[in-house]
Structure 1
Amino acid sequence: MEWERVLEEILKNHRGKLFGIVLGLCFGLLAALFGFWKAVFIAFCIVIGYIVGKRIDENKNFKSLLEKLFED
């Protein structure tokens, strides 16, 4: 089997598993380098950045998101 076919097979049929492995590896490396709580904080910042970036990509109003998060 050629490597291109193997990679295509993995990306087509095992995308979620691959994503989980990469995510786990990244978090493990962060925890080993910075400690568990610092790694949790970094992961939290990444999630917030993803949400903000997704809203920008979808051309949604960023101000409405902030109002939902910080309403009284």
Structure 2
Amino acid sequence: MEIWNKIWSFIQSANLRTLGMLVGALLGLLYLCVGFWKTLVFAGFILLGYLVGRWLDSQEDWRAVVERLIPNKSRD
């Protein structure tokens, strides 16, 4: 039971970016066990977990993220 207390204290003290990467790695490992050639998806899960964690850490508005990724190309 002590291991769960250690895990819980780590989760509470870690930043969301790290937790996002860990969740992405866990999901990626599960997906990787299905087949070797899906290693690219494994890396994608880790990257996605990092990006979601970074976004949650910064508490940035999702509209600002979309606007930054896809800028408005309207002409004056």
> TM-score, normalized by length of structure 2?
0.38
Larger RCO (CA under 8 A, 6+ residues apart): 2
